[in-house]
Amino acid sequence: MRELAKIFIAVGTQSVGGGASTLFLLRRLLVEQRQLISERAFNEAWALCQLSPGIHLVALAGLLGQRIAGWRGVLVAVSGMMVPAAIITALMTAAYGVIADHPLAEAALAGMAPATGGMTIGLAIVLVRGAKRHGPRAIVDVALVAVAFGILLFTTVSSIMVIVGAAALGALFLGRERPTSPEGATD
């Protein structure tokens, strides 16, 4: 159990930027170096975590922890990965708060705002690439993306209603192929 905790704390504190870098480190430590889980079991957990709500890497940590050490493993894996990383995030936020009102920090923010906006758009496109079906059915999928885009930009309809409505539509009409999500878009 101590070894499992060390691995997930290392993942939480050494992978920067989330997504692919966190996944890479998890795979390297658990599968290649310590061999606590097989490649096949890791891949199966990765596929299953795509079906979870919220942060997929938390679901992955939970599934891997459970597979390796049962329910105690879930607690150790998730808290090991999340708590130290959350403390680092909170400390960084506090540090930024000290300088946030400085003119230079405001200038940096003027560049970070479009960068984060652009990254959000880029991630959304990656998400569409992974979730859309192939062939002519892709047109329906892209149309659904466009409708959700238009609703948020041009109406006051709740985002939650959009998600719930699209999920219901999906259950009825969009289930012909298994969805896949690229690693970088699903952290």
Partner 1 sequence: MDPLSFFLVLLKDSALGLGGLGSLPMLRQDLVATGLATDAQLVQALAIGRLSTGPSGLWIVSLGYQMAGPAGAAMALVASSLPPLVILPATAVARRWLLSVPFAGLVRGAALATAGLLSATGVSLVVPPGDVPSWWQVLVGILAAALTYQGRLHPAAVIIGGALLGLLLAA
Residues 2 to 21: which contact partner 1 by CB under 8 A? 11-21
Q: Does 98 bind partner 1 (CB under 8 A)?
A: no
Q: Does 48 bind partner 1 (CB under 8 A)?
A: yes
Please give the DSSP secondary-structure letter assigned to residue 52: S
Q: 30, 49, 68, 69: which one contacts partner 1 (CB under 8 A)? A: 49
Minimal distance, residue 63 CB to partner 1, in Å: 7
Would you call 80 exposed, middle or buried from its count of C-beta atoms within 10 A (0-12, 13-18, 19+)?
buried
Contact present, 73 and 65 (Cβ < 8 Å): yes
CA of residue 121 relative to chain centroid, distance: 15
Minimal distance, residue 32 CB to partner 1, in Å: 20
Q: Does 52 bind partner 1 (CB under 8 A)?
A: yes
As a whole number of Å, the CA-based R_g of the chain is 19
Contact present, 11 and 29 (Cβ < 8 Å): yes
Q: How many residues bind partner 1 (CB under 8 A)?
A: 110
Q: Does 109 bind partner 1 (CB under 8 A)?
A: yes
Round to whole Å and give the CA distance between 61 and 43. 12
Q: Does 116 bind partner 1 (CB under 8 A)?
A: yes
Q: Does 139 bind partner 1 (CB under 8 A)?
A: no
Q: Does 26 bind partner 1 (CB under 8 A)?
A: no
